[in-house]
Amino acid sequence: MSGATNEQHALEGVVVPGWERQLAVAHWLLSAARDRDAARREWLLQGAALLACGGIFAAVRLPGDLVRAAAQTADEAEVNGFLRRALDGGPVIHGRYSDQYYALVPASASWRRPPRAFPGLECLGRDCFLGVPAVDRTEPKGRAYWAVPMDSPGELCDPRLVWALVQLAQERQRAVEAAEITGEQP
């Protein structure tokens, strides 16, 4: 990831305004909608639209406890910063009511089996739909928002980084559990 700001992004020497990138991302995401006009209306009226997984993207569902264990914090802003760094800026949606994070990955990742050691971890592919927030929903309010916004159309998380995050969380959870047993600091 480059050090581009949220308002502009350098691409081959050209500065692309943030609103133009958001528009391009929205158009790309809408290609996963069964009905683009209905999805646009859902974004406007409800803040999120159901988009089909398995075509242009898949989503790895990560329970909030798992993500907070990896980040070693419960502070939402710090968790989001951790995710941005750990997933190299790859897009992540946070479903606040369900306390689930969804790392968007290439659709081919849905053919691979994610680690099963953590309950609730699942890769959503074909025949699955995901409530995707409007691209401008980047603040932690409402039902869902972009914990890490999609920077450019088609720019997704590397599945290997997602699996590494899961392994890190499991290691950190084991360390906390061992420390509780021994009475030491993790």
Q: How many domains does the chain have?
A: 1
End-to-end CA distance of the chain: 32
Q: How far is residue 170's CA from residue 186's CA, in Å, rounded to a whole number?
A: 13
Q: Which residues pair with 15 in a beta bridge?
A: 10
- Residue 186: inside a domain, yes or no? no
Contact between 51 and 93 under an 8 Å Cβ cutoff? The reply is: no
Instruction: For the chain, count helices (H), then strands (E).
Output: 5, 9
pLDDT in tens, 74-122: 999 999 999 999 999 999 999 999 999 999 999 988 665 555 566 778 8
The pLDDT of residue 22:
85
- Residue 162: inside a domain, yes or no? yes
pLDDT in tens, 140-178: 988 999 999 999 999 999 999 999 999 999 899 888 888
Q: Is the dihedral of CA 77, 54, 150, 38 positive or negative?
A: negative
Q: How far is residue 145's CA from residue 136's CA, in Å, rounded to a whole number?
A: 9
* Residue entry with tokens 């369900």: 98
- Residue 71: inside a domain, yes or no? yes
Contact between 167 and 69 under an 8 Å Cβ cutoff? The reply is: no
* Residue entry with tokens 């909608």: 33
Q: How far is residue 124's CA from residue 132's CA, in Å, rounded to a whole number?
A: 13
- Residue 1: inside a domain, yes or no? no
- How many degrees, rounded to 5, is the angle at CA 26 between CA 89 and CA 114? 50
Contacting residues for 110 by C-beta, under 8 A, at least 6 apart: 53, 54, 58, 123, 124, 125, 126
**Full residue range of the structural domain in which residue 34 is found:** 10-181
pLDDT in tens, 22-78: 889 999 999 999 999 999 999 999 999 999 999 999 999 999 999 999 999 999 999
The pLDDT of residue 4:
47
pLDDT in tens, 1-23: 444 444 444 456 566 567 788 88
